[in-house]
Amino acid sequence: MQPKRYNLFSEHLKQHFGGRAHKISVDAGFGCPNRGGGRGGAGCLFCDPGGSGAVGIERALSVAAQIEAGKEVMRRKYKASRFLAYFQPFSNTAAPPEQLRALYDGALGVEDVVGLCVGTRPDCCPPQVLDLLADYHRRTYFWLELGLQSVHDPTLDYLRRGHDYRCFLEAYEQAVARGLRVCVHVILGLPGEDRARMLATADEMARLGVAGIKIHLLHVLAGTPLGALYEQGEVAVLEQEAYVRLAADFIERLHPRTLIQRLTGDGPRDLLLAPLWSLNKWEVLNAIDGELERRGTRQGGRCRALAG
């Protein structure tokens, strides 16, 4: 395989662990403050009833049993032997620290689990929770994953995120001050955002020097408020060629050290309304590689934080 023109997370994991490590998504039963603290409220415009697109999770099982089931699948598919427990759907810090500790310890206690990834919202990161996460950072391999989507407040309002950019920045800075690795989630193709706005998000991520990023394509799922708007013709999605160009632009502007954990979106096949081309994930990833190759550029090639 040709070396990537961007800083691929899976390569970092190989170097860190001396071999591949695979993420296993788990649902620990958390709710979300943006859904009234549970799972039933309206939430973000794009959020599906499963808590933002988590697929393949056996929700009825305990956390340890979910991980064991995931291990079996990964072993068969990839001969995998090391695993990261990824607390993915909903807001996985929305509980008192002692409850969080019991859940995280339960995951770390499963054989061959070598680290944790915890996804949450910026407004679910009070100091006592960040202190707890910092403790995990000291004793295991740990990532905090923070949903942001865009640095622009009008977009966050439109998405009904229930927090603004300042809220994200405060949580991010307090996490980084504790030494945590933070992976930020952003979305390209959001309603009301043109290329300049999307790339301003990239520039801001470069200024912050984020340790990791997940770049999602806006995809529309059935059963979401966004899905209803899409069916009424009020929301459009990107064509593949436009997404590939934008993703390449975004990558060029990131800091070269930032680890890219995701470069497209792959919503659940049975819920995906649009864009259907996103189901061909490898085609999209190959097209982004091809675009960077054609430009003769790479991650950080247009990083303003380095230029300035």
Q: Which is nearer to ligand SF4, 7 or 150 (CB)?
A: 150
- Picking from 203, 184, 207, the residue whose alpha carbon sits closest to that of residue 195 is 203
Element (H, E) at 115: strand 113-120
User: Would you tell me which residues interact with ligand SF4 (CB under 6 A)?
Assistant: 32, 34-35, 43-44, 47, 51-52, 90-91, 121, 147
Shortest CB 83 distance to ligand SF4, Å:
23
Q: Which is nearer to ligand SF4, 23 or 121 (CB)?
A: 121
Q: Which is nearer to ligand SF4, 21 or 47 (CB)?
A: 47
Q: Which residues pair with 118 in a beta bridge?
A: 87, 144
Helix, strand, coil percentages (3-state) for the chain, rounded to 5, are: 45, 15, 40
Shortest CB 108 distance to ligand SF4, Å:
23
Q: Which is nearer to ligand SF4, 70 or 147 (CB)?
A: 147
Please, what's the b/e burial string for 183-219 (b: 16 or more CB within 10 A of its CB; e: otherwise)? bbbbbbbbbebeeeebbbbbbbbbebebbbbbbbbbb
List, as one string, the DSSP characters of 73-106: HHHHHH----EEEEE-SS-TT-S-HHHHHHHHHH
**Phi, psi of 185, rounded to the nearest 5 degrees:** -95, 130
Q: Which is nearer to ligand SF4, 52 or 155 (CB)?
A: 52
Shortest CB 297 distance to ligand SF4, Å:
32
Shortest CB 215 distance to ligand SF4, Å:
16
Shortest CB 163 distance to ligand SF4, Å:
9
Residue, CB closest to ligand SF4:
43
Tell me if 253 sits within 8 A of 271, measured CB to CB: no
Q: Which is nearer to ligand SF4, 48 or 249 (CB)?
A: 48
Shortest CB 204 distance to ligand SF4, Å:
20
